[in-house]
Amino acid sequence: MMKAFMGYHDEAQKAIAQGQSWPKVRDATTDIQTSLRNMKFEVPDNQEEVSAKYEKILQTMSERFASVSDE
């Protein structure tokens, strides 16, 4: 979970360093922010399932930040 939080922070910092505004980054990643916030309320029943879900969020985050940086 911490990997996802730090990944979001790092990607946001990169986007801002490349000249994107924070409101633009925030608006483009609202659903990812929500997913990250909701992680803390999930009860991990199966480690493989949770790991797969976290990896999917990380992949989505990478793709979204790439598209924000391209704009």
Q: What pLDDT does residue 57 have? A: 94
Walk along the chain (71 residues) and give the pLDDT tens digit of each residue. Answer: 899 999 999 999 999 999 999 999 999 999 999 999 998 898 888 889 888 999 999 999 999 999 988 77
Q: What pLDDT does residue 40 have? A: 87
- Cα(24)–Cα(36) distance, integer angstroms: 18
* Helix or strand (DSSP H, E) at 31: helix 30-39
Q: What pLDDT does residue 44 have? A: 81
- Cα(50)–Cα(25) distance, integer angstroms: 26
Tokens coding 51: 């790991």
Q: What pLDDT does residue 69 have? A: 80
